[in-house]
Amino acid sequence: MGRTAVAFCPGHISGWFKRADPKNGVKGSVGGGIVVNKGVTSEVRESDAMSVQALKKEADGSISSLFSGSPPIEYAFEKLGILAEVITTTRLPAGSGFGLSAASLLSSLSAANSLFDLGLDNAGIAKIAHESEIKFNSGLGDVAALTGGGYICRQKPGIMGDIIRNYDMNDSISVISFGPLPTESILGNPKAMEKISSAFREVCPKTPAEFFEISREFAENSGLISERIRSVLLKCDQNNIPASMTMLGEGVFAYGKNAERILAGFGEVYNLNMSKYGFETRRND
Ligand SMILES: Nc1ncnc2c1ncn2[C@@H]1O[C@H](COP(=O)(O)OP(=O)(O)OP(=O)(O)O)[C@@H](O)[C@H]1O
Ligand SMILES: CC(C)(CO)[C@@H](O)C(=O)[O-]
């Protein structure tokens, strides 16, 4: 049995985004989102061979296998010249707008950093994770978002871009997910991306209410709202609950004490809170 290290990274719900023009140098996106208190825990173990196993924890505590192999994590570890057995565990659904590809990269790299004494600081970890996300089209702005907490507005692309972080989102955030919308399928679709680009407005919220207004306006203009999402949004509107579509996943996130009750009529509800913190490293010899 080799030594292990464990690290956690929160999830990130994107409310609006726009891909940065790669001609301008830095790759990624600008946009807004919420760093949330549930995300991905990675356990990294010394090994002679590289392997990644993704696990899902259910509401009743049972654990099931999601998939094995994760090209973004394998690529990042190869870049660092390390081999390890990686196990990621999450309570949240995959491919559903929680930025889990970024969270699994950041938690796995944080754990590897401490296990192998790589000496990377948080910016160094984020740089490798961001590069891997861009390479696999699995995210644009999630890594930058997850370098800290709060509900945020990213005004420049990349991990060194200006990020406004606000922390006064005190009520719970309820999320319902109807199924995955693989990030690659949207980012790799020029028509969808053109519509998304025209839906984007260069504004930053100062309050949670403004955050949900900007998210909703973007979602309405993005061309991504399905019939199922529309019916949930209508119900939220009728009950004065701020709500919008999770980017990128076929789901709805809604704000405040009454949101859970309304969303529960449509399926399993994930109850989250804004996280004040981004990813972290913890040693576990
Ligand atoms: N929990 C996880 N553990 C390990 N690898 C993951 C995990 N989630 C996603 N990945 C890797 O990221 C790839 C792309 O995932 P995708 O971007 O569709 O999911 P996501 O990040 O959960 O979605 P979103 O970015 O919309 O929240 C997956 O094929 C997988 O290789
Ligand atoms: C593209 C994206 C919506 C995928 O989660 C996110 O990375 C973002 O906001 O850039």
Q: Which atom of ligand 2 is nearest to the CA of 31?
A: 9
Q: Is 133 left (phi over 0), alpha (psi -120 to 50) or beta?
A: alpha
The CA distance from 280 to 109, in Å, is 10
Contact 98, 39 (CB under 8 A): yes
The CB-side HSE value for 22 (13 A sphere, CA atoms) comes to: 4
What confidence score (pLDDT) does residue 25 get? 82
What confidence score (pLDDT) does residue 285 get? 39
Q: Which atom of ligand 2 is nearest to the CA of 12?
A: 5
What confidence score (pLDDT) does residue 161 get? 85
What confidence score (pLDDT) does residue 281 get? 55
Domain count, the chain: 1
The CA distance from 104 to 189, in Å, is 24
Q: Look up the CATH number of the domain holding residue 138.
A: 3.30.230.120
What confidence score (pLDDT) does residue 280 get? 79
- Closest ligand to C-alpha of residue 185 is 1
Q: Which atom of ligand 1 is nearest to the CA of 11?
A: 27
Contact 263, 271 (CB under 8 A): no
- Closest ligand to C-alpha of residue 28 is 2
User: Position 19: which residue type?
Assistant: R
Q: What is the Å distance from ligand 2's center to 139 Cα?
A: 5
What confidence score (pLDDT) does residue 152 get? 98
Q: Within a 10 A sphere around the Cβ of 167, how many other Cβ atoms?
A: 12
What is the domain extent for residue 95?
Answer: 1-285
Each of the 285 residues of the chain gets a pLDDT tens digit; together they read 789 999 999 999 999 999 998 787 899 999 999 999 999 999 999 999 999 999 999 989 999 999 999 999 999 999 999 999 999 999 999 989 999 999 999 999 999 999 999 999 999 999 999 999 999 999 999 999 999 999 999 999 999 888 999 999 999 999 999 998 888 899 999 999 999 999 999 999 999 999 999 999 999 999 999 999 999 999 999 999 999 999 999 999 999 999 999 999 999 999 999 999 999 754 443
What confidence score (pLDDT) does residue 60 get? 92
Q: What is the Å distance from ligand 1's center to 131 Cα?
A: 15
